[in-house]
Structure 1
Amino acid sequence: MIRAVIAVSLTLLAVVSGCSTGTPLFNGQDTSGWVEIGSRGAWRADAKDMCPARGPALTCSGQHDGYAWLSTDRKYGDFELTLDWRVNAGGNTGVFCRAPDREGRTSMKGFEVQACDDSKEQDPTQVSGGVFNRIPAAGRFAKLPGQWNHLKITCRGRHLRVELNGRVTVDADMDAVPAKGNDPPMKNVPNEGYIGLQNHGTLAEFRDIRIRELR
């Protein structure tokens, strides 16, 4: 009986504290395992407002010299990626997925899940949780600027699912998404690529970045 109570208590604690599963992509100290592109020292570990259950934040100052982002040092195929993010009023960032290389506009070659202050955004493909310029978000589920949001991205084969703060924003077959403007159809998105955090020129913070590779 006592063991059962302890087991239930631990389960509830995990739910309440928001414990994540998967392999950490951020060590809480520096950008080891990442490659900085288009900026110089714009990314750093920041223990300010640290949540013990989530760890320090990976903070982007917004300094950049061109198209800038922080790329993983290796490519991933099918995966479940979870992280927390927050921006200030007017802030903008995003999460790049399946980028085949680190050159040029990554959101065109792979895709970008939006993470921003979308309070004044009219285009639903540029609302948080949507796929930039390609797939509209199912609704506006981002929290107010300055508050942490939880993002989950699942790529399995050609299927993409995005959840923001527990709400599904995208559930799509990538091969069915047509070209839009200068962006090619998503059937061109490769089956593996780099994962990245966008430096859009504004302050952005990420924490508890974890990935679970799907076999």
Structure 2
Amino acid sequence: MIKRIQQKIKNLGKLTLFFMLTSCTFGAQAHDPQNTHQETPLLNQLSQKEIKEGWQLLFDGKTLNGWRKFHGEAATSPWKIEDGALMLEAKGGGDIITEHKYGSFILELDWKISPGGNSGIFYRVVEENQKEIWWSGPEYQILDNDNQSYSPLATEKSASLFALYAASEDHTRPVGQFNKTRLVIKGQKVRHWLNGYLVAEYEINSEDWNDRIAKSKFSVFSKFGTEKRGHIGLQDHGHQVWFRNIKILPLD
């Protein structure tokens, strides 16, 4: 009888340890900001949890609704839908922007770039007296880091704030695979995530920011990075690029 009791206690201890370890593992996964080690279960859809939290879908996977050309009307060819992704097929589509403006937010999306390709994600874009989208909107860079005809600077590689803040590490997946971007903007503080890794953070209008701007090509553009609200933009850099699962959580 005593041996049976001891064995039950031993088994109970193992079971308790199992649940403790399982709980810790699940807890660690829950703190992964993008849950990047798992495939997105819903393509171009919001989960019930996301809907309750206030997330908004910026691309339905079927149409170009909600997007238009920078300084223009609705987005058209060569922007198109391919296999549930918003794709730029060839040069000439022009940069496109969301119909609505956003201030503080969390933006998440998947992107895939073609071999040797270049593109970008702009934020707080305005059109008034701005000839180019990048005159006002800072750019989260998208690049095939490994197959360029030139040697890109650190600040020109994927997930960098183009020409200003370099991504700390290269966490891009091989060309042909989708990457997951998370862009977090709270007031003037900005964080760039790529495939689950925080790779860049900075504060707009800080002393460091202003010093970098003064030494850059953006110094002559008075609107660059100064707007509190603006459009989200996707760049036509003349290379094929795909976007999907584009969603935003407004924070203001």
TM-score greater than 0.5 by the shorter chain: yes
What aligned pairs does 1:1-12 form with structure 2 within 5 A after superposition? none
Counterpart-to-counterpart distance in 2, 1:145 and 1:188: 30
Higher-Rg member (1/2)? 2
Q: 1:35 pairs with 68, 71, 75, which one? A: 68
Q: Deviations over 1:146-198 (max 9, x none)?
A: 11100000111000001001111111111131313321389842111010111
Q: 1:80 pairs with 103, 106, 116, which one? A: 106
Letter of the aligned partner of 2:118 in structure 1?
A: N
Counterpart-to-counterpart distance in 1, 2:217 and 2:114: 29
Q: 2:85 pairs with 41, 57, 73, which one? A: 57
Please, what TM-score do these two structures have when normalized by structure 1? 0.82
2:145 corresponds to 1:109? no
Q: CA offset at residue 132 of structure 1?
A: 0.8
Q: Give the aligned length.
A: 195
What aligned pairs does 1:89-168 form with structure 2 within 5 A after superposition? 89-101=115-127, 103-119=130-146, 120=148, 121-168=151-198
Q: 2:216 is matched with which residue? A: 181
Root mean square deviation, CA, Å: 2.5
- How has the CA–CA distance of structure 1 residues 187 and 116 changed in structure 2, closer, same or farther, with 3 Å as cutoff? closer
Counterpart-to-counterpart distance in 2, 1:187 and 1:204: 25
Q: Which runs of 5+ in 2 are unaligned?
A: 1-25
Answer yes or no: is the 8 Å Cα contact 2:56–2:249 preserved in 1. Answer: yes
Q: Percent identity?
A: 27
Q: Greater strand percent: which structure?
A: 1
Please, what TM-score do these two structures have when normalized by structure 2? 0.70
Counterpart-to-counterpart distance in 1, 2:237 and 2:203: 27
Q: Which runs of 5+ in 1 are unaligned?
A: 1-7, 48-55
